[in-house]
Amino acid sequence: MLFTIDVGNTHTVTGLFDGDTLVGQWRLKSDPDRPNDELAIRYHALFSMADINKADIDGVILASVVPALESSWIACINTYFSKHLTNPPLVVSAESISSQIKILTDYPKEVGADRLVNAIAAWEQYRQNLIIIDFGTAITFDCVSAKCEYLGGTILPGIAISLDALSTRTAKLPRIDVTTPPPHVIGTNTVDAMKSGILYGYGALIDGLTEKIHKELCPNGEPMRVLATGGMAHLIAPFSKRIEAVDTLLTLRGLNLLFHKQYDI
């Protein structure tokens, strides 16, 4: 089985794959101060509860955007998993996966590992011009050409950041739950007005920015697909006309795919 690890700024999402089948998935808060021994204890408990034998894990792949946690995870893998691995653990970076995608940005090393994984996973599925929108702590737009070239993208504040800013930087705006939409775009009370601003506002932002990117990415009207992923994707997708599909497992599936491609399994 393959242990896939996606370390984000807010959450760490992990999955266990038996071939192409996801047999276990966990989502925990990312804590940069968590030592490698504590990581091992936590996942040993999770594996036990899922009746999974750690000895059956023969591969590990890690994508991290949190350097402190990346170091802890590497130490954890080397100490507690390496005994049973048939291939060296793969830590995703621009250098380690250079054979899988051509990165055409000014500074390839700056591109987040998760963004590269998403780009490869989406391109392998569709093999055309793509915009991948990841709704995480930040919202990222990643642009991939039909020739599997990572071209760059945009970064803007995520939904949770915006909600926190509204409630902490203003005197009268409360913390709200945006999982239920307002009845109208024009809010007739504070909560509905905030919900409208977030849901309809981000939906319009996504569509407007997608339109501008589309003109640069496909100047001659070439086919293009727009995918969304990340924990908040399902909230905004209904308010966007340009998002064509939501795939919340894109990164985990991408890690599984990338590991097998990298080691030609």
Active site residue 114: yes
Q: How far is 86 from 105, CA to CA, in rounded Å?
A: 34
Nearest to 148 by CA among 98, 187, 186, 112: 98
Return the number of other C-beta atoms located less than 10 Å from residue 83's C-beta.
9
Burial of 29 (0-12, 13-18, 19+ CB in 10 A): exposed
Q: How far is 79 from 66, CA to CA, in rounded Å?
A: 20
Note whether 249 and 22 are within 8 A (CB).
yes
Q: Order of strands across the sheet with 149-157?
A: 102-103, 149-157, 138-144, 129-135, 224-229, 245-246
Q: How far is 250 from 254, CA to CA, in rounded Å?
A: 6
Q: What are phi and psi of 102, to 5 degrees?
A: -90, 120
- Selected catalytic residue, list 114, 134, 142, 247: 114
Note whether 92 and 258 are within 8 A (CB).
yes
Q: Please identify every residue annotated as catalytic.
A: 114
